[in-house]
Structure 1
């Protein structure tokens, strides 16, 4: 159960930046990300998605595997993120709480659609597979390759 890739979005609509490590602050999120310090809704601090789900989507729809395509912050491997809703866990030195599933929106549908795949079909595919929203309980650093562990 590891972090395979890390991405931030400094501004809305711009390409994500891939990072080797990020710094998170309690209740604030990722330093440098466009959502840092915003609290419009719970779970806005950090988003996670499973690499295996992205790879499956790409394989089923004849796309090149691109782990950034969902625009989530952390791409994980070897963990069922749906099982972390309501659970405290750690990644690196950061303590997190899974808040809710990160269900797909119209933007994801539009971004991942193609001639043979409508936005509605994309959204349907990603329901309950879109990842996890999490709040930062105690800040610190997360680096690529960091282990994901249940909090004690």
Structure 2
């Protein structure tokens, strides 16, 4: 499998708040992205349980032909050129950070509710909701950084 790249980065300070585009962010070991709701246990899907969902990723090619912008997906990292589902259960690098793919991220109705977009995110992104990952080693992640999958197992 070839390397991909980070197409966009977003953080959100609390559940329901607007996503904020960033050009770089520090990944924190065992927590998530600095300044993001999931790193401090304030995400909608954490329900106060820090560490349940640390980083969310989605592939840019799923946005083609939709009216959804990357920011409306409410995912932290938008990638290009790497198949995220192949990373479930595997360690991979994003910039200077080491992540492990935990599970598929089901698309939900939250992006519609918060963005006001009339297209149905859940339907459009069925089987394309992205990946939930945990941070094994912290490090800086920048826009355009490589996403490096493992060498073995493909």
Q: TM-score, normalised by structure 1?
A: 0.83
The answer to whether 1:52 aligns with 2:51 is no
1:95–1:151: 8 Å Cα contact kept in structure 2? no
- Output the CA distance in 2 between the equivalents of 1:126 and 1:112: 16
Q: Which runs of 5+ in 1 are unaligned?
A: none
1:23–1:140: 8 Å Cα contact kept in structure 2? yes
* Structure 1 residue 135: Cα displacement: 0.2
Q: Structure 1 residues 41 and 106, CA, compared in 2 at 3 Å: closer, same or farther?
A: farther
Aligned length: 141
Q: Structure 1 residues 99 and 106, CA, compared in 2 at 3 Å: closer, same or farther?
A: same
The equivalent residue for 1:137 is 136
Q: TM-score, normalised by structure 2?
A: 0.82
Question: 2:86 is paired with a residue of what secondary structure?
Answer: helix
Q: Which runs of 5+ in 2 are unaligned?
A: none
Alpha-carbon RMSD: 2.1
Question: 2:73 is paired with a residue of what secondary structure?
Answer: coil
